[in-house]
Chains A and B, each alone.
Chain A
Amino acid sequence: GQQLNQSPQSMFIQEGEDVSMNCTSSSIFNTWLWYKQDPGEGPVLLIALYKAGELTSNGRLTAQFGITRKDSFLNISASIPSDVGIYFCAGPSGGSNYKLTFGKGTLLTVNP
Chain B
Amino acid sequence: DTAVSQTPKYLVTQMGNDKSIKCEQNLGHDTMYWYKQDSKKFLKIMFSYNNKELIINETVPNRFSPKSPDKAHLNLHINSLELGDSAVYFCASSQDSGQGTQYFGPGTRLTVL
A binds B: yes
- A48 near B101 (CB under 8 angstroms)? yes
**Which residues of A91-107 have CB atoms within 8 Å of chain B's CB atoms?**
91-92, 96-100, 102, 104-105, 107
Measured between beta carbons, the chain A residues less than 8 angstroms from B50 are 98
Among B13-21, B68-76, B78-86, B102-110, the stretch in contact with A: B102-110
By CB atoms of chain B within 10 A, which of A31, A91, A102, A107 has the most?
Answer: A102
Minimum CB–CB distance from A16 to chain B (whole Å) comes to 26
- Given the contacts A33-B101, A41-B106, A50-B99, A98 and B56 also touching, CB distance less than 8 Å: yes
B41 & A97 in contact (Cβ 8 Å cutoff):
no
Residues of chain B within 8 A of A97, CB atoms compared:
94, 96, 98-100
Number of B interface residues at 8 Å Cβ cutoff, please give it: 27
- The CA-CA distance from A86 to B42 in the complex, in Å, is 11
Is the pair A41, B103 in contact by a Cβ cutoff of 8 Å? no
Known interface pairs A86-B41, A100-B45, A105-B41; A42-B104 also in contact (CB < 8 Å): yes
- B101-A31 in contact (CB<8A): yes
Given contacts A30-B99, A42-B104, A43-B104, contact A102 B48 (CB under 8 A): no
Please list the residues of chain A having a beta carbon within 8 angstroms of any beta carbon in chain B.
Answer: 30-31, 33, 35, 37, 40-45, 48, 50, 86, 88, 90-92, 96-100, 102, 104-105, 107
Q: Would you list the 5 A-B pairs with minimal beta carbon distance, nearest first?
A: A92-B100, A42-B104, A102-B43, A31-B100, A97-B100
B residues neighboring A (CB under 8 Å): 4, 31, 33, 40-45, 48, 50, 55-56, 90, 92, 94, 96, 98-107
